[in-house]
Structure 1
Amino acid sequence: MTPKMDTTEPILFVLSIDTEEEWEWGEAFPQQDANVSNIDNIPAFQKVCEGLGLRPTYFVDYAVADNPQAVEHILPLVPEGNCEIGAHLHPWCNPPFFGPVGEFESHVVNLPKEQVSQKLENLVKKLEQSFSIKPKSFRTGRWGIDKKVMSLLIEQGFNVDSSVYPFYENEYFHCNGSPSLPYWPDLDYPLKVSSQQMIYELPVTVGFNRSNFELANKIHTAFTKPPLSWTRFNG
């Protein structure tokens, strides 16, 4: 018997798009009636992707999924199978609302588990209503993932997360030490590799144009803080 040849082409990269509202970042986070006119350009962008043989993943947030005109632009693309609809959680425009949203509240990892749970459940329901699909891939708004969010994703049936931003850190969380290539994350500490196979992590592709990413990151980080930041070396 002649063994069957594996004709499956290898996946070279994954193209994903945060499909969300737009606003001036220096202004307040938009909670309702957010501007989603940018979504008008999705059909043209999709044609470009198809011309290149790409199947993009659109991480759609609540503001887009709740806007009839935005849905009208995306919905015809779904039955063709040339794209994927994932879920994108922006805390500020995703009900239920729990008060004003500032910088702290804009990061999913900073919210209590019960708030994230309610918002995630509403987001999944809205995507199901608008696009007749149950999303399997997810990305937090403004990046970052932790134990509580990972457990909620599994409860909602997600099997892929893409919230890890290697080498990134801010005053609330960091992704330092995470793998830069796809991996099975530890459910208690998602920046580490584990043997579980319930949910897969696809980190965003970032790095330095040097062979030793870790060393380059250490140098970069050192020059972003005193006493070396005055040199503006990174610029």
Structure 2
Amino acid sequence: MSVHGGALSPFRLPAPDAAALVRWPARFGRRFLVFVDVEEEFDWSAPLDRANRSVTAIAALPQAHARFADHGIAPVYLIDHPVVSDAGAVDLLRGVLADPRVGLGAQLHAWVTPPFAAPQPGDTYAGNLPPALEAAKLDTLTDRLTDAFGRAPIAYRAGRYGIGPATAAALVRRGYRVESSVRARYDYSADGGPDFSRVGSAAFRLGDLIEVPLTTSFTGRLRRRGAGLYPALGRLPLARGAFATAGLLQRVALTPEDMPIAEACAAVRVAVEEEGHGLISLSFHSPSLVPGHTPYVRSTADLARLWDWWRQMTALLESLAVRPATLAEVIAAADAPDN
């Protein structure tokens, strides 16, 4: 959505054409990648405020990383400005990033990343900002991450999935290789954000970037019609809920946050066995590692459910011969000559 130039026009990402799709080499097999949004804590029900910069939940990240590492999983940590600006958080993360398999990425929360400008409608989505301001914020974050960890981030996610028409080119100019802001089959345009409803879960070329969308599949008896039917149902009151309850159609993103494990496992089977995706992408927010910081983990029981979600998910992926991938392996496979 362009809001600083006058006209209100949402950023609608078109479906990639066949030539843009990444064709994974046979030796790559079937793999999965875990992204972690490493960010500050804030009240998800309140307006976003640049004063919210607390990062106490980062203390839980080393133990969480050890759990993933025990299963051979090397997450991509997408770190934002409040986190990389906190000396204690950086010290903890240096230990995590000492694992050479781990990926380092940037997550741009526009509302807490300098330089700042007078607030405008829609500007919590970084892609809505004037390109020069979006680029300046990206420089601030990229430079801070590089200084803190001794290596440059090469993966990116915009806070609130808020990429825009100038984002990809800005990332390429700064050495990024992987973009992960696309939440497949989701549309945020009603709130001023981008529309990804036409984009599926397959990795594709976004200019010179490798786009790895958050894997989202339709489940239910009408799942093969989901790409067209689900947006239409959104125009009818309560229709999506009714179709999901009836087992006809449900949209399921691969995250333990507000996605029950049974539905997530069904979505993985669709993605792997029916849609044939060679790379599955999963994601969650680091504040969910401590009860009380996100709507998804309010209690110790919720946290136990989150870890049980991961236990069941990793067991399913293993049973389907879907192995963990590192960020470096994904880039190497996408860069293979047959692509």
TM-score normalized by the length of structure 1? 0.83
Query: Which residue type is aligned with residue 157 of structure 1?
Result: G
Answering whether residue 131 of structure 2 is matched by residue 116 of structure 1, we say no
How far apart are residue 220 of structure 1 and its match?
2.7
Q: 2:83 aligns with which of 34, 44, 64?
A: 64
Question: Structure 2: how far apart are the matches of 1:27 and 1:101?
Answer: 17
Deviates further, 139-148 or 44-53: 139-148
Question: Structure 2: how far apart are the matches of 1:60 and 1:229?
Answer: 38
Question: Structure 2: how far apart are the matches of 1:91 and 1:213?
Answer: 35
Map 1:91-170; keep pairs closer than 5 Å: 91-100=110-119, 104-170=122-188
Map 1:1-235; keep pairs closer than 5 Å: 10=29, 12-32=31-51, 34-100=53-119, 104-170=122-188, 171=190, 172=192, 173-185=194-206, 187=207, 198-210=208-220, 213=223, 215-225=225-235, 228-230=236-238, 232-234=241-243
Question: Structure 1: how far apart are the matches of 2:42 and 2:52?
Answer: 11
- Of Structure 1 and Structure 2, the greater helix share is in 2
Deviations 1:57-80 (A, max 9, x none): 010011111011111211112222
Tell me the secondary structure at the aligned position of residue 15 of structure 1.
Answer: strand
Deviations 1:190-234 (A, max 9, x none): xxxxxxxx3211011112124875622433322322xx2155525
Question: Structure 1: how far apart are the matches of 2:120 and 2:92?
Answer: 29
Residues 221 and 179 of structure 1: is their aligned pair in 2 closer, same or farther, counting only changes over 3 Å? closer
Alignment root-mean-square deviation, CA: 2.3
The runs of 5 or more residues in structure 2 that have no matched partner are 1-24, 245-339
Query: Which residue type is aligned with residue 225 of structure 2?
Result: L
Query: Which residue type is aligned with residue 167 of structure 2?
Result: V
Tell me the secondary structure at the aligned position of residue 207 of structure 1.
Answer: strand
- Of Structure 1 and Structure 2, the greater strand share is in 2
Which has the higher relative contact order, 1 or 2, with Cα contacts under 8 A spaced 6 or more apart? 2
The total of aligned residue pairs comes to 216
The runs of 5 or more residues in structure 1 that have no matched partner are 1-5, 188-197
Deviations 1:19-69 (A, max 9, x none): 111111222313145121111110000000110010100100111110111
